[in-house]
Amino acid sequence: MRNLSLPLALTARISPVVVLAAAGWALTSGPATTPAAEKESAPQSAGETPSGASTAAASKQYAAAPAPCGSIGTATIKSLVPGAKTAGKEIPSTDTALRRTCSWNALKGYDYRWLDVSFEITESDAAAAKSYKETIAEKSGGGSVPGVGDAGYSVVNLTTEDKQQTREGVVIIQASNALVTVTYNGSDFESKKAPSTDEINKGAIKAAKEAVAALESGQKA
């Protein structure tokens, strides 16, 4: 087997899984959502109308983030990240009720794949919609993802470092007061080419659909 000269930024990604889980989180674009407010609104005063309380309750469907590593089916993980441990690795969070992320990554032969799934719970539908709009405004060049949640957006970008290509897809879904973000990327260290846009985009959208279904059904790992 001939020696491969890998770019510095990608060398960390073919280290043992424990190192990859720590280093790769910083290397991927990851979710770019606005942190959710952690404080609940003040209790309703006696003078406020019951209809106001009903509207507030209806605008916050989810109280906590689901277990992210149980949100993607085993078959999908094996398909998108060949060779990865299907259990995934949850990324530490300062508040697991509000934000949880799971990561899968593997190098099989010369093909490398990385998948992140993140859930963020905001204080209301309006807060989630605001964060969603701000996020997609920063990620130009993508398109809508219809039929998933209340709003969906997908974008794929190609980067090249030391002649090594990496293609990364990001899908952001707003579902009521929750934001679901999927990041999926890949590289081929032998050809130095990246997977096709279609492969990365379809893979990211497939994972996003399963993650939203898990959120809606209250699935736990």
DSSP letter for 207, please.
H
Q: What is the pLDDT of residues 183-203, one digit of tens each?
A: 999 999 999 999 999 999 999
Q: What is the pTM of this model?
A: 0.74
Q: Name the H helices within the chain.
A: 8-11, 17-27, 50-58, 74-80, 125-138, 197-217
Q: Looking at the DSSP assignment, which residues form a beta bridge with residue 207?
A: none
pLDDT at 58 exceeding the cut of 60: no
More confident residue, 59 or 213: 213
CA 23 to chain centre: 17
Mean pLDDT along residues 23-42: 39
Q: What is the pLDDT of residues 169-184, one digit of tens each?
A: 999 999 999 999 999 9
Angle at 201 (CA atoms; ends 200, 203), nearest 5 degrees: 65
**In whole angstroms, how large is the CA radius of gyration of the chain?**
19
